[in-house]
DNA sequence: CATGAATGAGATTTCATTCAT
DNA sequence: AATGAATGAAATCTCATTCAT
């Protein structure tokens, strides 16, 4: 019934088979369709917001039948969840690019963070907007927001993971790191969000630079004080 | 129907008041109803988000008939706009509290900003969430968001107004001030938003303090450099 | 939200008020609408069956808007449940007509039963068909059929109540009475159902008579043996 | 559309057999698939009812592709029709078991009928439920129920055929026999249907016995009077 | 023969809005 | 001014059916 269900086919041969079952033609077609839907949905969500979007708009944009949507996703929030996960993966991917550079100073890492976020904001604006909207699912009543919450938590954890080494010998203070992560994430997302009201895209680009310097300095100060 | 009679009743009023006719009983009742609606809507919006909220939910919570809603507001977004304006007024009010203190240093002002935001976040959480949602209506397609956009612009302007005096004799650099305003607003809103994922309320309270110091320092640095 | 919710209005005055709150104009209108829907649904259900019926068909027949349906009932099965209860009430009402006649013999009562069922079949054919369909909801998986089951149980109980006095001094044998009730109900419903295949309406009318005699005799025999 | 193509396939068969070509491998496979579908459908229909059943549910249960269904049956009602025919065949088969016993009395035959129905109810409960549902397709509006109607007519005819010899020398009164058939069928189906509400399976088993005696007596009386 | 992804007609359901009282 | 029953446009969702592989 659900397409994502993995075929357990070659489970019968417990031989060397590592290949994970090569996708059949049909499976490939399905995957393509699924991607068309994801792309269309991302576009629609970032233009209109998740709530205002309709299945019709999505499938129309994907040039697919309405029923096809329901073969692949159970509803609007299902596909939105998938997109948020995807976007967070992209963002975390960028954050990791510099990981494991043993020569990097704390300031280098912080600067890298801001750069990575900025690059993400520039090159995946749709995903940025979606993430920001996802954050908006910030409702006091926690409902079934779990699906949405998890990726963000993962994102904060990534930031923490990279910052922890710089905490020095002192006992790792979890709360302190979390604060830092929130500060970074909050600053970046918040800044871009407000920047979209008051500035032209080019101004945003040039604005981020000087702010970055002082922000890096203050965070660094905070962390090591 | 019988209410119009009251208006006439009012004319018997032997007061001199020529201009600002004091609110009649009817008017007072209407104002009360209007407030019930505003309060109910704020609660519903912050719980479910503006899009997921329904008129039914609002009037039910206000314990009023559905038709009554339309007597006071034209639709959901009308009342939301009113609430956003109200919330921004609250926030700006707090920001202004220290205004016109000629002795205040830049760092004092910045610190006051962060304090004011924090107090607002603590004591008007519903309004904070609503504002954040408003910001989240961050859609690429700018639609009739004007009503929503305006209060935020006003808010940025207030920040700018307070910071401008500290720019020194150099030519007022509008873009620089705007950057600063975005940085402040973005940091605060963003931080609280992410903090809500990763921390307990008490932790948020204690977290903001040390961050504030370094943030103030870095902003101050940035501004005067 | 739900219309059926009783106004608890005069609960404040615990005085003589027995009147049950006289229905307001609005309430009367709502009740009328509700009845229009019930009538339309009964017609549609008996013509097409509950499953094949659509909300559209019902509201169209009732000459009402589609949304109106949902003000009064939560879905098709809700209104069907209400109709089944109503029909069982009618049928039980007929069964009770002779109740409390102390002179009646067992055979009189049994004969009365068959007459009552026949009259019900003749004069409330729609309801008969609906009840029969309800019985057909006979699915092995007992789901939320409770709503449907209950009225039928009530019906069997009514039959049992009337037969119990004739059990004589011997210990009341619950199973025996239940058997009898099922036999009566099954015979009547089943007979009419099959009769609809093989006979013209007039033939059914004349057929029931001789069968009734022998059936009454045999049931009476069974009960007292 | 239908499998009639198979006939040609058979021609590859190098046997001389001109008439009754033995089933080829392909035919056997097809027959097996068809049976899997019939079994699955029977289970689903009796659990959910014919209307609530979906092709998906059936093919899933049969562990077959959805397209396969359409190779064998034209739609849900097609396969339901086939199942009803099958079930009636089973039931009629049981009815015939005692046929042609020249020594049997009318009461013997009637008793045999009730036994046969009871055995069918016990051992083919799914089919019983399906038949009962079929009977429930009792809608005032006679539609294309023909396919469904026919097997039931056949069933009544079988009953009539067995009873006719006992009508004595008097002119065969068709209506009288039909009445009888309806009485038998209605009683049995109706009784079991209601019994399913009010009794445990074991009680049903023991209940049918004493009822049978009096019912046989009364029917016999009616028939010969 | 078998498959299951894709389809879209049609059913269900929600909810903003009107309007008579 | 307040009400809430009625409405229907628009959204969601289901499922029988087709068709390329």
> Does pLDDT of D11 surpass 50?
no
Confidence band, pLDDT 50/70/90 cuts, at residue A188: confident
DSSP-derived secondary structure letter, C12:
S
Q: Do chains C and A touch (3 or more CB pairs under 8 A)?
A: no
pLDDT on residue A63: 95
Confidence band, pLDDT 50/70/90 cuts, at residue B6: very low
Confidence band, pLDDT 50/70/90 cuts, at residue A8: very low
Task: Provide mean pLDDT across the span D109-136.
Answer: 82
Task: Provide mean pLDDT across the span C183-194.
Answer: 74
How far lies A106's CA from each of A217, B34, B207, C4, in Å?
A: 10, 54, 20, 66
pLDDT on residue B150: 75
Confidence band, pLDDT 50/70/90 cuts, at residue D147: low
pLDDT on residue D197: 66
Task: From chain A, pick out residues whose CB is under 8 angstroms from the CB of B189.
Answer: 186, 190, 193-194
Give percent of chain D above pLDDT 90: 22
> Does pLDDT of C155 surpass 90?
no
> Does pLDDT of C36 surpass 50?
yes
User: CA angle at residue D110 from D104 to D111, to 5 degrees?
Assistant: 90
Task: Considering only residues A19 and A72, tell me which one the structure prediction assigns the higher pLDDT.
Answer: A72
Q: Is the distance between the Cβ of C67 and the closest atom of strand E smaller than 7 Å?
A: yes
> Does pLDDT of A10 surpass 50?
no
pLDDT on residue B210: 73
pLDDT tens figures, A177-187: 777 777 777 77
Q: Is the distance between the Cβ of C41 and the closest atom of strand E smaller than 7 Å?
A: no
Task: From chain B, pick out residues whose CB is under 8 angstroms from the CB of A137.
Answer: 49
Q: What share of chain C is helix, strand, coil (3-state, %, to 5)?
A: 75, 0, 25
User: Which long-range contacts does A136-142 make (Cβ < 8 Å, 24+ apart)?
Assistant: A136/B49, A136/B132, A136/B133, A136/B135, A136/B136, A137/B49, A138/B129, A138/B132, A138/B133, A138/B136, A138/B193, A138/B196, A139/B46, A139/B47, A139/B48, A139/B49, A139/B129, A140/B46, A140/B47, A140/B125, A140/B126, A140/B129, A141/B47, A141/B48
pLDDT tens figures, A132-146: 776 555 443 444 456
Six token digits for residue B129: 């969430």
Nearest by CB: B136 against A135, A149, A187: A135
Helix (H) or strand (E) holding B202: helix B201-224
Of the listed ranges B41-45, C90-94, C170-174, D194-198, the one predicted with least confidence: C170-174
pLDDT on residue D140: 41
pLDDT on residue A39: 96
Selection from C127, C132, C47, C67 nearest residue C94 by Cα: C127
A71 with A108: CB under 8 angstroms? no
What whole-number distance in Å separates Cα of residue A93 and Cα of residue C175? 72
pLDDT on residue C153: 80
Of the listed ranges A26-30, C103-107, D96-100, the one predicted with least confidence: D96-100
| Rounded distance in angstroms from the CA atom of residue B25 to the C1' atom of nucleotide F6 | 32
Please report where in the chains the tokens 């910001």 appear, as a residue. Answer: B135
pLDDT on residue D19: 59
Task: Provide mean pLDDT across the span A84-93.
Answer: 90
How far lies B186's CA from each of A183, A190, A191, B222, D87, in Å?
A: 10, 3, 4, 16, 73
Are C136 and D140 inside 8 Å of each other by CB?
A: no
Of the listed ranges A55-59, B166-170, C28-32, D140-144, the one predicted with least confidence: D140-144
pLDDT on residue C97: 81
Residues lying close to strand E (Cβ under 7 A), chosen from 42-81 of chain A, are 64-68, 70-72
Residues lying close to strand F (Cβ under 7 A), chosen from 66-85 of chain B, are 66-68, 70-72
Q: What share of chain D is helix, strand, coil (3-state, %, to 5)?
A: 75, 0, 25
Helix (H) or strand (E) holding B32: helix B25-48
Are A140 and B219 inside 8 Å of each other by CB?
A: no
pLDDT on residue C5: 42
C75-224: CATH topology: Tetracycline Repressor; domain 2 (1.10.357)
* Chain D: closest CA distance from residue C186 (Å): 3
> Does pLDDT of A109 surpass 50?
yes
pLDDT on residue A71: 95
pLDDT tens figures, B38-71: 999 999 998 888 888 999 999 999 999 999 999 9
Task: From chain B, pick out residues whose CB is under 8 angstroms from the CB of A214.
Answer: 218-219, 221-222, 225
Residues lying close to strand F (Cβ under 7 A), chosen from 9-38 of chain C, are 26-27, 29-30, 32-33
> Does pLDDT of C140 surpass 80?
no
Of the listed ranges A98-112, A153-167, C144-158, the one predicted with least confidence: C144-158
> Does pLDDT of A102 surpass 80?
no
* Chain B: closest CA distance from residue A117 (Å): 14
pLDDT on residue D168: 66
Confidence band, pLDDT 50/70/90 cuts, at residue B2: very low
pLDDT on residue B9: 42
Q: Is the distance between the Cβ of C51 and the closest atom of strand E smaller than 7 Å?
A: no
Are B222 and A207 inside 8 Å of each other by CB?
A: no
> Does pLDDT of D56 surpass 90?
yes
Confidence band, pLDDT 50/70/90 cuts, at residue A205: confident
| Rounded distance in angstroms from the CA atom of residue C61 to the C1' atom of nucleotide F4 | 24
Task: Considering only residues B74 and D185, tell me which one the structure prediction assigns the higher pLDDT.
Answer: B74
Q: Which nucleotides of E are covered by protein (CB under 7 A)?
A: 1-21
**Every domain of chain A and the residues it spans:** 1-73, 75-224
Residues lying close to strand E (Cβ under 7 A), chosen from 165-224 of chain A, are none
pLDDT on residue B53: 92
Q: Which nucleotides of F are covered by protein (CB under 7 A)?
A: 1-21
Task: Considering only residues B18 and C77, tell me which one the structure prediction assigns the higher pLDDT.
Answer: C77
* Chain D: closest CA distance from residue C204 (Å): 8
pLDDT on residue A135: 55
Task: From chain A, pick out residues whose CB is under 8 angstroms from the CB of B207.
Answer: 175, 178-179, 182
Average pLDDT, chain A: 77
Selection from D114, D77, D76, D123 nearest residue D95 by Cα: D114
Q: Is the distance between the Cβ of A123 and the closest atom of strand F smaller than 7 Å?
A: no
Task: From chain A, pick out residues whose CB is under 8 angstroms from the CB of B213.
Answer: 222
Confidence band, pLDDT 50/70/90 cuts, at residue D79: very high
Are D182 and C191 inside 8 Å of each other by CB?
A: yes
> Does pLDDT of C171 surpass 70?
no
> Does pLDDT of C179 surpass 90?
no
pLDDT on residue C146: 63
pLDDT on residue D21: 67
> Does pLDDT of D122 surpass 50?
yes
Task: Considering only residues A190 and D44, tell me which one the structure prediction assigns the higher pLDDT.
Answer: D44
| Rounded distance in angstroms from the CA atom of residue B139 to the C1' atom of nucleotide F20 | 40
Confidence band, pLDDT 50/70/90 cuts, at residue C8: very low
Selection from C61, C63, C56 nearest residue C40 by Cα: C61
Are C52 and D51 inside 8 Å of each other by CB?
A: yes
Is the pTM higher than 0.75?
A: yes
What whole-number distance in Å separates Cα of residue A212 and Cα of residue B7? 62
DSSP-derived secondary structure letter, D11:
G
Task: Provide mean pLDDT across the span B90-112.
Answer: 82
Give percent of chain C above pLDDT 90: 24
pLDDT on residue D156: 81
pLDDT on residue C219: 75
pLDDT on residue C47: 87
pLDDT on residue C199: 66
Contacts of B85 (CB under 8 A, 6+ apart): B151
B1-73: CATH topology: Arc Repressor Mutant, subunit A (1.10.10)
Task: Provide mean pLDDT across the span B102-108.
Answer: 82
Q: Is the distance between the Cβ of D179 and the closest atom of strand E smaller than 7 Å?
A: no
pLDDT on residue D148: 65
* Chain B: closest CA distance from residue A204 (Å): 8
pLDDT on residue C40: 97
Give percent of chain D above pLDDT 70: 73
* Chain A: closest CA distance from residue B177 (Å): 10
Largest CA distance in chain D: 64
> Does pLDDT of B203 surpass 70?
yes
Six token digits for residue B133: 């949602």
Please report where in the chains the tokens 């088969």 appear, as a residue. Answer: D93
| Rounded distance in angstroms from the CA atom of residue D76 to the C1' atom of nucleotide E12 | 22
Q: Do chains A and B touch (3 or more CB pairs under 8 A)?
A: yes
């Amino acid at each position: 019934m659900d397409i994502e269900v993995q075929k357990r086919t070659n489970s019968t041969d417990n031989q060397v088979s590592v290949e994970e079952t090569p996708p059949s033609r049909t499976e490939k077609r399905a995957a393509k369709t699924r991607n068309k839907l994801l792309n269309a949905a991302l576009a629609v969500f970032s233009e209109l917001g998740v709530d205002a979007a309709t299945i019709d708009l999505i499938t129309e944009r994907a040039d697919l039948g309405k029923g096809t949507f329901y073969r692949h996703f159970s509803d609007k929030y299902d596909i939105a969840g998938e997109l948020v996960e995807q976007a967070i993966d992209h963002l975390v991917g960028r954050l990791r690019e510099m990981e494991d550079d043993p020569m990097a100073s704390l300031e280098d890492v912080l600067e890298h963070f801001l750069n990575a976020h900025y690059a993400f904001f520039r090159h995946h604006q749709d995903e940025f907007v979606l993430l920001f909207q996802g954050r908006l699912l910030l409702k006091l009543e926690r409902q079934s927001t779990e699906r949405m919450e998890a990726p963000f938590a993962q994102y904060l954890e990534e930031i923490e993971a990279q910052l922890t080494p710089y905490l020095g010998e002192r006992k790792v203070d979890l709360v302190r790191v979390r604060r830092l992560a929130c500060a970074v994430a909050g600053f970046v997302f918040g800044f871009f969000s407000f920047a979209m009201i008051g500035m032209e895209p080019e101004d945003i680009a040039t604005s981020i630079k000087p702010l970055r310097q002082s922000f890096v300095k203050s965070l660094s100060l905070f962390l090591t004080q």
